[in-house]
Amino acid sequence: MSFSSSTNLYSSDQSSSEYYFIQCYENDSLEHYEINLERYKDERDAIQKKTFTKWVNKHLSKTGRRVEDLFVDLSDGLNLIALLEVLSNEHLPHENGFTRFHRIQNVQYCLDFLKAKNVCQVKTVNIRPEDIVEGNSKLTLGLIWTIILNFQVSIIKQRQYEISNSQVKDLILYLFLFIFCYFHFTSLFVSFFLFSICHLLLLNFSSSSFFS
């Protein structure tokens, strides 16, 4: 074997080794990324569930009701009906039975009510009553988030003329600083999640004639 052939063979082996090393590194990095992504997703879902549960209980306290597990305790539709009645000051029909049929019917009353109110331009169209009855976590969180966006922001809109311009700005600034200082060192996802709520409120006020 000539020297040039040996050199080419060595170069080929070296290239193969480098390629193998890069592939192993990329695979390990991808696996590490996917593991972290799944962990952060679980953390985000847990944060949303905890936050939404507190919000729901805050309003349900007016009725003497309380939820412990959002995905379980909303599945019969009765707590969901009570929540919408508190938020809207309107009465919704409900079924008193505890069969699957009664649960589905109760949730259907809620979805029909939201559609009649044109909540989020009927973004509940992709949610079936069976999804809530079966405790679908993603769609249950999506439904509560839709309710929060519409009813909570509408309450703020109703009150925005009762307080001065500077008070609104001070309130938003306070919320921003509180979220940043309190949650920044505990969870990045908490910060982003709650910061997005403040940002939404700020955009809501800024786009209205209140600041013009």
Each residue's pLDDT tens digit, 147-179:
887 776 665 555 555 555 556 555 666 555 555
My answer on whether 181 and 155 are in the same domain is: no
Residue 91 confidence (pLDDT) above 70: yes
User: CB–CB of 88/82 below 8 Å?
Assistant: no
**Least confident residue range of 48-57, 60-69, 177-186, 192-201:** 177-186
Domain of 182, in residue numbers = 161-212
Residue 34 confidence (pLDDT) above 80: no
Q: How many domains does the chain have?
A: 2
H/E stretch holding 175 reads helix 165-183
My answer on whether 135 and 175 are in the same domain is: no
User: CB–CB of 56/37 below 8 Å?
Assistant: no
Closest CA to 194 of 175, 207, 210: 175
- b/e per residue 174-183 (b: at least 16 CB within 10 A): ebeeebeeeb
Tell me whether residue 19 is in a domain: no
Give ∠ CA 39-68-145 in degrees, rounded to 5. Answer: 65
My answer on whether 172 and 130 are in the same domain is: no
My answer on whether 48 and 82 are in the same domain is: yes
